[in-house]
Structure 1
Amino acid sequence: MKSSLRFPALRCAAKRTGPDAQRGVTMVEFAIVSPLALLLVLGIVQLGLMLVAKEIVNEAAFVAARAGAVDHAQTTTMTSALQRALVPFYQDTTDSNDYTRLGTAWVRAQLDLGNPLNLDLKVLNPSPEAFADFGLSDTQNHTYIPNDSLEYRTHARDGQSSGQSIQDANALKIRVTYAYELKVPLMRVVFQSVMCNGPDAFGRGGGSGLATALECQQYYSRGRVPIVTYATVQMQTPAWSS
Structure 2
Amino acid sequence: MKSSKYYRGQAMIEFVIIIPVLLLLIFGAVQIAFIYSAKTTLNYATFQAARVAANNNATYSAMRRGLIRGMAPLFTNSSALNSVQEDIAAGIDSGGSRRDAVSEVDNYTRIIRINPSSSMIDLTGFGQVTADGTVALPNDNLMYRPSNFTVDDVNIQDANLLKIRVQYCYKLMVPLVNRIIGSLSELNNLKEPDSYHKHHTVNDPRFADANRAEVNSAAGATATYEELCGNRANGNEGFVIFAEATVRMQSPAYAEDSDEEFEAYMCDGHRMACP
Query: If the TM-score is normalised by the length of the shorter chain, which range does it land in?
Result: 0.7 to 0.9
Question: 1:217: Cα distance to partner?
Answer: 6.3
Match of 1:3 in 2: none
Partner secondary structure for residue 244 of structure 2: strand
| Counterpart residue number, 1:199 | none
Write the letter of the residue equivalent to 1:104: D
Task: Tell me which structure has the larger Cα radius of gyration.
Answer: 1
- Hey, what does 1:104 align to over in structure 2? 87
Matched to 1:122, the amino acid is I
**For 1:1-242, what aligned pairs fall within 5 Å after superposition?**
17-91=2-76, 93=77, 99-106=82-89, 107=92, 108-115=100-107, 118-131=108-121, 132-156=124-148, 158-159=149-150, 161-196=151-186, 209-212=187-190, 214-216=224-226, 218-219=228-229, 221-242=235-256
RMSD: 2.3
> Distance between the aligned counterparts of 2:252 and 2:189, measured in 1?
38
Q: TM-score, normalised by structure 2?
A: 0.69
CA 1:172–1:218 in structure 2 vs 1: closer, same or farther (change >3 Å)?
A: closer
- SS of structure 2 residue aligned to 1:124: strand
Structure 2 unpaired stretches of 5+: 93-99, 192-223, 257-275
CA distance in 1, matches of 2:102, 2:30: 27
Contact 1:67–1:78 under 8 Å retained in 2: yes
8 Å contact from structure 2 (residues 179, 236) kept in 1: no
After superposing the two structures, state which structure 1 stretch, 100-109 or 121-130, moved more: 100-109
Shift of 1:27: 0.6
Give identity over the alignment, percent.
Answer: 32
**Cα deviation per residue 1:29-57 (whole Å; 9 max; x = unaligned)?**
11011101110111111111111111100
Number of matched pairs: 209
Alpha-carbon shift at residue 98 of structure 1 (Å): 5.9
1:31 & 1:140 partners in 2: Cα distance? 72
Distance, in Å, in 2 between the alignment partners of 1:182 and 1:235 is 35
Amino acid at match of 2:243: T
Return 5+ residue gaps in structure 1 as ranges. 1-13, 197-208
With over 3 angstroms needed to count, the CA separation of the structure-2 counterparts of 1:216 and 1:151, relative to structure 1, is same
SS where residue 155 of structure 1 aligns? Answer: coil
Structure 1 contact 137–143 (Cα < 8 Å) conserved = yes
Q: CA deviation at 1:23?
A: 1.7
Q: More deviation in 105-114 or 55-64?
A: 105-114
Look up the equivalent residue of 1:126 and give its one-letter code: P
